[in-house]
Every structure is written in C-alpha cells, then in structure tokens.
Structure 1
Amino acid sequence: MTTFVTILFCLTYLGMAAGRVPGSRIDRSGIAMIAAVVLVATGALSNGEILGSIHFPTLLLLAGLMVLSARVRASGLYDALALWIARSAGRPLPLLAMTIAITGLLSAFLVNDVVVFAMTPLLCSGLAARNLDPRPYLFGMAAASNAGSAATLIGNPQNILIGQIGGLDFWKYLGFAAVPALAAHVISFACIAFVWRRSLEQVPDDAIMEPRTVDRQEIAVSCGGLVVLLVLFATPLPREISALLVAACLVVSRKIPSRQFLDEIDLPLIILFASLFIVIGAFTATGLPQVGMNWLAEANLLPETAPLLALFSLAASNTIGNVPAVVLLLQIWQDIPPNVLTGLAILSTLAGNLLLVGSLANLIVAERAQAFGVELSFRDHARAGVPATLASLAVACLWLVGLGYLPV
C-alpha cells in the first residue's frame, strides 16, 4: 500500500504542476478529488483518518469569507470602484497607481480571487472606452491583489490555511506583514511603469461610460459586516466561528435571495483543499515524509532561513501552485515555528507574482480579460513580474531578517 499511495501522491502533484490532465479538461480540483476518492475506495485511510486529515476550521473560514465577498459584490461596490478608477484619473500613471492601491486594499480584507474576478470586466470596458491599453493596468491589478493579500491572514486561501493551522494572531501578523506588502505595491508600480512606459504615455479619451447601479444600503451592510468580523478577530472567539456568524447575518436580506450569496462559494477550491488534505494525509501515514524531513534537517536544508524559504516559495508557487505547496508543507512538517509560518505567508504570496501561472488571481485576470479581447501573455507578464517579484522578495527577506524573524 505504501508504494501505491506514494505513486498516487506523486501523480497528484504532477497534476498540480501541469494544471490539468493533458487531453482532458480535468483541472487541479478534479485531479485532487479523483486521487482522494481512489484512496478512500482502496481503504488507504479509515473513515476516522479521513476526517482527521481534513482541517475543517480552514474550510469553514474560507466559506464564511466567500459569503462576505459575495455580499460586497452584490452591493455593486466592486463594479462602482472599477468604473470609478477607469474614468477618474486624468493621466495613465495616476490611473495605474489608483488601480494598484484600491485592488491591494480590497484584497487585504476580502479574498483576492473574488476581488479580481469581479473588477476585471468593468476595468477592461472602462479602459477601452478611454482608448487605453488595458494590459499594464490589469497586470497592476493582479500584482496588487497578491501583494495586498499578503498583508493579512484572510487575503488569500494559503494565508487562511497558514493562519488557521499555525494559530497566528491576526492583528500581530498584519502589523508585521504590512510593510513588505506595501513595499511590494510600490515596487510593482515602479516596474510596470518602466516596462510599459510607452503604453502609459497614451492620452486617455474623455469617454462617457454608463454608470452602474450601486445600493448604498447594501454597501453599508457589507462594510459593517467586515468591520464586525475584524473586531471579532481581536477576541478569543475562533476565526472560523467569527466568519460563520458574520456570514449567517449577511445572508439575511430583504432584496437579495440567500441562494445568490451561497452560490458564490467557490466549491472547486473547497474540494481542492479537502482532497489535498486526504492525499497528503495518506502519504504522511506511510512515514516517508518524516524520513525526508529528517534528511533535510540533517543537511540544514529545511526552509527555515529567509533565503531557503524564498527559494521554496518561488519554485513551489510557480510550479505546483501556492495552495498545494502550502498544504503539503504544513502537513509533512510538524510543529513549524510561528516565525517560519509568518515568513511562509508573506513570501509564498509575493512569489505568486513571478509568472502568470504563479497564482490563481493572475489566471483569473487573464481569463476574464480574454473575454474582452485583451490577451495577457506569459511573456508580457514576466517582463514586469520577474523583476518586481525578485525585488519584493528581497525586501521581504531583509524585513524578516532585520526584525529577527528568520536567520540568513
């Protein structure tokens, strides 16, 4: 059974690296689910072991945050902000700066994938109406969604997982991570402004764009829910319970059916998490991961220094994906020190800006933009993404080392 589980684990993570099964439309969530079902069907794990391997608090927190983001989206806030960005700034550079700043702020407190999913179409149409090349602004949005989400433990799925399993304090983490996250915003702006300087020399047209309907009452309710959630994070109440309480209150509406909010829950992402927990749980039960971790410890190759953790984040986030990489590391490396977890949350998120495939947010922006005839190529992303990411990681490593969180 050990050989079978090991082979299945390797095939699963090869699928994570490829992104899909060649010749089919089975994506990462489908690959992980099939592997988990095979393990369950063959008896590799007992029913108790299956339940024990899944970290339900993470899944519950993720679901609660998705409901909050759905309520914000239903209020029209994302649409209004995207159009406001597109038509308010008079020159391209202020427009780019505004795109990065607003996307980063939203992504810090609302799941970044949802933010870019909602804002990309309106930003594309607004920029097209002003006769502007949308590519630098869309790359700025993608970069800011990752940089902004690195600032908190609820900004993206992998940080949610790290915060939950590691028991990291929300506000303490925010106070520490805000500086490298803010630096990443500035660096991304500078790199995009330089690489796309010709496109950013265009003079925008003063086009008249149709305003979007905004429900001020719904916006107030949504923002109120977010404020309550952040306050609850400062209490001893578990974060997943806090998120579910707020979500339960937010699905109550006289105007919008609750099903609309619940339909916004990203079920494939939930399935990906749960399935990977099962696959890695079965692999961990073989004892092989512990042997490997012992070997790495003896060779001083555990990613517990700033350079090694940055290299791991770069390699893993841009191959198998940051969510599968973080799930794997947290499952096979027992008792990871809190300082390493803090570094992992920051570095693994910032590393997602390196390549177009480095994060789900990047891919969402590219796919949503393609529907408007805007092609965001791998090469175009890398032109600014590679230098911006390397510089951002360097600053983050200096911050981690300088404040004594990680050794060199």
Structure 2
Amino acid sequence: MYTTLLIFFMVYLVMGIGKMPAFNVDRTGAAVVGALAMIVAGSISPQAAWDAIDYRTLGLLFGLMVVSGAFTVSGFYAWAAEKVARLPISPAALLAVFIGVSAGLSSLLTNDVVVLSMTPLLVSVALARGLNPVPFLLAFCFAANAGAAGTLIGSPQNMIAAQSLDLSFNEFMMAAGVPALLSLPIIWCIIAWQYRGKWTLEHPVAKATAPVTTQLDKVETTKAIIVASAVIIALVADIWPRELVALAGAGILLVNRSLASKDVLKQVDGNLLLLIIGLFICNQALSNTGLPQSLFDWLREVGINVNDPLSLFVAGSLLSDIVGNNPAVMLLSPYLHPENNAQSLGAAIALGTGFSSNLIIFGSLAGIIVVEQAASCGIKISFGAFAKSGVPVTLLTLVMAGAWIAFL
C-alpha cells in the first residue's frame, strides 16, 4: 500500500508542478512511468491495468481530435483567424468577435486544437494592425476554456465526465450551456475595461512577425464541415455509441485523395492520450487500496459530499488549479454516483474545472499554448499579466456558475 501511495503522490506532484524535480520528465512522462511502476510493483495486475483504461473515452477523444485536425490541415483555422483579425472594426468590437469565435469553435471542436492552430496568426495580424495582441490572446484563451465547458465535446475533461455520468450530448449541453454563454460577456467586460486606452503596444516587439497569407483548401474544408456536422447531429440524436460516431467521422476524413493521413494524424495530441491512459491505471491502482473510498466516506461524515453538486463544483475548481483540469476530473469521476442529479453533477464538474482553468497560466493546456505560442512570436504574457485578467474572470464566472448549479 505504501508503495502505491508513494507512486501516486509522485505522479500527481508532477501533475501539479509540471515537471519531476531533478529530472526532465513532464506530466505525460510521469503518468506513463507511474502506470508502469504500479504494474511492476504489483499495485495492479497487467490485466487489471488494461481493464482500467476507458476505451470509450479514448475513442471519442481521438476521433474528435482527427475531425478537428482536418480543419487545421485544410487551412480553415488559419483562414478564420486571418479574416477575423482583419475586420475593419474598433478594438473593443474586435475583442468581442475574438471571444465569440473562440467560444463557438471550442464548443464544437477540441478547444486545445483550436487555440494551437489559431494563436500564431492572431498574433501576427494583430501586430500588423498595430494592436497589442495580449488582450486579444487572453480573451481568446479564456473564451476557449469557458465556451468548451458548455458541451460534451468541448474538452477532454467534459468527455471523461460525461462518460462517467452517462450523460448524452443534449443533457450535458442543457446543464452547462447557459452558464458557458453567460461567461462570455463577463470575459469581454473585464478585459475591455482593463485594457481601455491600451489597445496598442507601447514599445515595438523585439521579434517582429509578418502577416501570414493563408491558403484555404475549399474542397477539404467543405468535406470537414460536412463530416463534423454529421458527427454533431449523430451525437445529438444519441442513437449510436458516441465513440463510434467520432471514430467513424475520423475514418472518413483520413481516407483522402489530396491530404495525407499522416498530416491529419499529426494534429492528434498523442501526449494527452498517453497521459489519460497512465492516469486511468494509476487511479485504479490507488482505488484498489480502498483509501479513496474511505476518504470520501469520512468527508461525507463531516458534511462534504462530492455527490452534492455544489461540493463537487468547489472540489473540481480547487483541484483543477492544483493538478490540472483533466487529472482533477479523472480523480473525482470514479466516485460519482448520480441518481436523479446526473445533469447537476455534470454541470458542476464541467463548469468548475472549465472556468477555474482561467485563473493562472498553468490552469489549462490552452493557457500554456497561448503563452508559449505568443512568446515564439515575440510577445510576452507574464504570469502577473495573465493572472491580472484571469483572477477576476475566474471569480466572477465561478460565482455565476455556482448560482446556476444551486438553481439546478
């Protein structure tokens, strides 16, 4: 038992700080090494480790990553970013457009892929207009996390939670969609107020970035739109298993005459899939000790019940900024036992982990992507600058979401 606890603690320590102390091992590496260590130490048998992996979640996530990746390879994301950034409107209005586009795309496609694909071009075109990219990138990141919280397919943690709670696409959206929409004007108001009169850069960037001209493959984009629409319609209809729907869409897009399948598959975040596999195994090994069940029983006795939506909302919010949103959901979801409140629990965990992701840079993968991509383009977004906007955005959206969950 002590060996299992030590391995589990080390894995989630890396989840929290991002890297194993004294070693060049990141979160994904820690999850994989931890899973292997659990098997070698006898904390979990090879067969039990295999059985612990939820292939439905992995299939759904992989399929949707391929669908979203097809939009990247066809040039759609870059084209959309360029068109949005070149609109002849005021900076405040442009900020609203950034928020709407980010939330809309992230709610229907994987938010991390959307952010990864569009951030560099948004920086370059903002600089070409003489604008300060920072407020637009912050708004884009915050809206991606907030908008993704509203649908089952918006983020990996939503997919994990929905599978655990057996929520359909429609049930999930009805529970979390309204607060996701309400969060968008909150994001706009805070950033527009903070950056009023500061829409332009005070000093030129050290590394200038030229505007990028993007070639849109209309045929492949049309095909991607048709397939993505069919996948979403099938998910709404809820007739077939959703992982099969996503995988079918991915298969259709990979069979292509003009785009190489390897180029589309490059857009799949293999590290994230491996991280999730590793955490499935580590979490099951810990569960085999009986300690988590004992802990949750004790918490229930002192008045903290994770199967109460508001308690789950608070727990998810706090854990998300300690170990990350995906690990937080994976820690909590196996111990959720919904009876008549599955939708409330789904909203609680999705909104709690989604909205709290905007607190600090490392609260979400989207935040890390935006900051690193901006830095590669010569734009620095400091921890303080991110938190200056992220803290009020997070607090206000969480208060609003908490009121919504109480209403449910």
Structure 1 stretch displaced more, 17-26 or 70-79: 17-26
Q: Contact 2:306 / 2:336 at 8 angstroms: preserved in 1?
A: no
Give TM-score, length-normalised by structure 2: 0.94
Answering whether residue 299 of structure 2 is matched by residue 299 of structure 1, we say no
1:44 maps to a residue whose letter is: S
Answering whether residue 367 of structure 2 is matched by residue 365 of structure 1, we say no
Q: What is the distance in 2 between the residues matched to 1:89 and 1:103?
A: 19
Q: Contact 1:135 / 1:376 at 8 angstroms: preserved in 2?
A: yes
Answering whether residue 381 of structure 2 is matched by residue 388 of structure 1, we say no
Unaligned stretches of 5+ in structure 2? 203-209
Q: What is the distance in 2 between the residues matched to 1:17 and 1:24?
A: 15
2:347 maps to a residue whose letter is: T
1:226 maps to a residue whose letter is: A
Describe the SS at the equivalent of 1:382. Answer: helix
Aligned to 1:102: 101
Q: What is the distance in 1 between the residues matched to 2:265 and 2:360?
A: 32
Aligned to 2:128: 129
Q: CA deviation at 1:198?
A: 2.6
Identity %: 35
Q: CA deviation at 1:281?
A: 0.4
Q: CA deviation at 1:90?
A: 2.3
Q: CA deviation at 1:164?
A: 1.5
Q: Contact 1:92 / 1:202 at 8 angstroms: preserved in 2?
A: no
Q: CA deviation at 1:305?
A: 4.3
Q: After superposition, what is the alpha-carbon deviation per residue over 1:119-142, rounded to whole angstroms, capped at 9, x for unaligned? A: 000000001111111000000010
After superposition, where does 1:225-236 map in structure 2 within 5 Å? 225-233=227-235, 234-236=237-239
Q: After superposition, what is the alpha-carbon deviation per residue over 1:51-86, rounded to whole angstroms, capped at 9, x for unaligned? A: 221111101111001100110111111001111121
Taking only aligned residues, the RMSD between alpha carbons, in angstroms, comes to 1.8
Aligned to 2:291: 288
After superposition, where does 1:343-382 map in structure 2 within 5 Å? 343-382=348-387
Q: What is the distance in 1 between the residues matched to 2:69 and 2:138?
A: 24
Give TM-score, length-normalised by structure 1: 0.94
Aligned to 1:328: 331
Q: After superposition, what is the alpha-carbon deviation per residue over 1:194-216, rounded to whole angstroms, capped at 9, x for unaligned? A: 1111313789xxxx955311111
Q: What is the distance in 2 between the residues matched to 1:47 and 1:383?
A: 47
Q: Contact 2:310 / 2:405 at 8 angstroms: preserved in 1?
A: no
Q: Contact 1:146 / 1:350 at 8 angstroms: preserved in 2?
A: yes
Q: CA deviation at 1:303?
A: 3.2
The 1:133/1:202 distance shift into structure 2, 3 A limit, reads closer
Q: What is the distance in 2 between the residues matched to 1:307 and 1:46?
A: 36
Q: What is the distance in 1 between the residues matched to 2:227 and 2:394?
A: 33
Aligned length: 399
1:197 maps to a residue whose letter is: R
Describe the SS at the equivalent of 2:322. Answer: coil
Q: CA deviation at 1:362?
A: 0.6
The 1:261/1:196 distance shift into structure 2, 3 A limit, reads same
Q: Contact 2:146 / 2:184 at 8 angstroms: preserved in 1?
A: yes
Q: After superposition, what is the alpha-carbon deviation per residue over 1:208-259, rounded to whole angstroms, capped at 9, x for unaligned? A: 9553111111111111111100111113211100000111001111111111
Q: What is the distance in 1 between the residues matched to 2:113 and 2:295?
A: 37
After superposition, where does 1:199-218 map in structure 2 within 5 Å? 199-200=198-199, 209=211, 211-218=213-220
Q: In the alignment, which of 282, 286, 289 is matched to residue 279 of structure 1?
A: 282
Q: Contact 2:64 / 2:246 at 8 angstroms: preserved in 1?
A: yes
Aligned to 2:87: 88
Aligned to 1:144: 143
Aligned to 1:268: 271
Q: What is the distance in 1 between the residues matched to 2:136 and 2:37?
A: 43
The 1:52/1:128 distance shift into structure 2, 3 A limit, reads same
Q: What is the distance in 2 between the residues matched to 1:384 and 1:210?
A: 28
Aligned to 1:250: 253
Q: What is the distance in 1 between the residues matched to 2:349 and 2:39?
A: 31
Q: After superposition, what is the alpha-carbon deviation per residue over 1:124-181, rounded to whole angstroms, capped at 9, x for unaligned? A: 0001111111000000010010011011011111001111221101012213322100
Q: CA deviation at 1:357?
A: 1.3
1:190 maps to a residue whose letter is: C
Q: Contact 1:317 / 1:348 at 8 angstroms: preserved in 2?
A: yes
Runs of 4+ in 1 over 6 A off after TM superposition: none
Q: Contact 1:92 / 1:201 at 8 angstroms: preserved in 2?
A: no
1:229 maps to a residue whose letter is: V
